[in-house]
Each structure stands twice: as structure tokens, then as C-alpha cells.
Amino acid sequence: MKEAEKIVAIDHNPKATKFKNADFGIVGEYNDILPELIERVKSGFTFGITAKKA
């Protein structure tokens, strides 16, 4: 995680400590949220990150 540009935390507990270190926090069950998040990323959602060129 140290080298990650953005950290997305998903937890059903809105007070979870992982949200303190995350750039984005989503409250809910990961097995409900993850499929929707994957579809959005596949369709172009970038979390505001521009891809680095190799």
C-alpha cells in the first residue's frame, strides 16, 4: 500500500480505522460493493488518477 497512488477502503463499519488511511471510503458490505466498483472501473472510472505511461 505504500506505493499505491490511491487507497480505497470498504467496510460495513463507518467508524473503521482503515478509513483514516484511505483516499476513498465506501461504507457497506464488500461483496455488495465490489461488483459495482469493478464495473465502473471497467467502464472508465479512474478515481481521478491519470495513468502513467511506461
Q: Let me know: does 24 contact 6? Beta carbons within 8 Å.
A: yes
**Nearest by Cα to 23 from 52, 48, 54:** 48
d(CA 3, CA 18): 17
Its pTM stands at 0.70
If one compares 29 and 5, the residue with the highest pLDDT of the two is 29
Tens digits of residue pLDDT in 11-48: 999 999 999 999 999 999 999 999 998 998 899 888 77
Domain residue spans in the chain? 8-42
Band (pLDDT 50/70/90 cuts) for residue 53 is: low
Is the pLDDT assigned to residue 49 strictly greater than 80? no
Residue 10 burial (C-beta neighbours within 10 Å; 0-12, 13-18, 19+) = buried
Q: Which three cell numbers stand for residue 32?
A: 455488495
